[in-house]
Amino acid sequence: MTQLKNYQKQFFNFYMEYKYLLDLCKKKNIEFYYFEKVNSTMDVSKKLFFENKSTLLICSAQQTSGRGRLGNKWISNKGNIFFSLRFVPKVDLKKFYQIGILSCISIKKTLKKFGISNVSIKWPNDIIVENMKIGGVLTETFFKNNYNYCTVGIGINFINSPTIKKYSTTYIKKYNSSINFEIFLTFLIKMIINSYNKWNDSKYNNLIDEYKKSLIFFGKEVIINNNNNLIKGILIDVTKDGYLVLNSNNKKRIIQSGFIEFKL
């Protein structure tokens, strides 16, 4: 009986803490799973319910093996935001990368909605506030049971930020101490879902233009690290495929992969 009461209390506390998010998931037909600790929400999203094409949301209070692009470790301190959304898009597989772009834009808009200004995106997927990294986006695609899946992983520093030697970091509470975690998280997920639905219906026609306007260092000289090959040039454009266009030694150069190498 005591165990039952404890379980009921835990369930009630969870429901009250995530009431708005649970209501959103019910309204949007999203399967929602919450964990206190996982290796990675991206890994969990690959193991659950492949026979179901519904959008899947995995949230965790902590990750022990969170990861970013190119195999980089994502330090996942408790109290920050870690979640993955798994979609089964109906658009061409070649466009799945745009889910990462619309997620970056959604994060930027959400931060601005909650009073955090000077937000930009560092190509391809880092969220920057006042020249410091506050979050990042990772997208992965895979094929299973005759369906193409795309999972987007989101990590945002909410109550603290790790110390990184290569660049400066920051966190949400530094700019607005009154922000409620669950309200912010729910608003962000709603923003991503709405943007995704618009994109999946081929109605997000200005996505790349929004992305270009959000990029830090647009029109400025950057150094791209592409598998330890450093490429210097002026960032002048973004292609419809999300690739960077550099003016390098007075020649246009298309950069398909890598990251901008600079100290924040």
**Do residues 146 and 235 both lie within one domain?**
no
- Our count of domains for the chain comes to 2
Amino acid code (one letter) for 216: I
Res. 10 pLDDT band, cuts 50 70 90: very low
Whether residues 20 and 57 fall in one domain: yes
- Does residue 104 share a domain with residue 39? yes
pLDDT of residue 226: 85
- CB-based contacts of 33, cutoff 8 Å, min separation 6: 44, 48, 56, 57, 58, 59
In angstroms, the CA 172 to CA 180 distance is: 10
- Residue range 103-139, pLDDT digits in tens: 999 999 999 999 999 999 999 999 999 999 999 999 9
60 plus 169 within the same structural domain:
yes
For 226, the domain range is 217-260
- Region class of 69: left (phi > 0), else alpha (psi between -120 and 50), else beta: beta
Query: What CA–CA distance (Å, rounded) separates 153 from 106?
Result: 13
Q: What average pLDDT score do residues 35-61 get?
A: 83
Average pLDDT over residues 160-173: 87
Domain of 247: which CATH number?
2.30.30.100
Together in a domain, 46 and 98:
yes
Position 76 scores a pLDDT of: 61
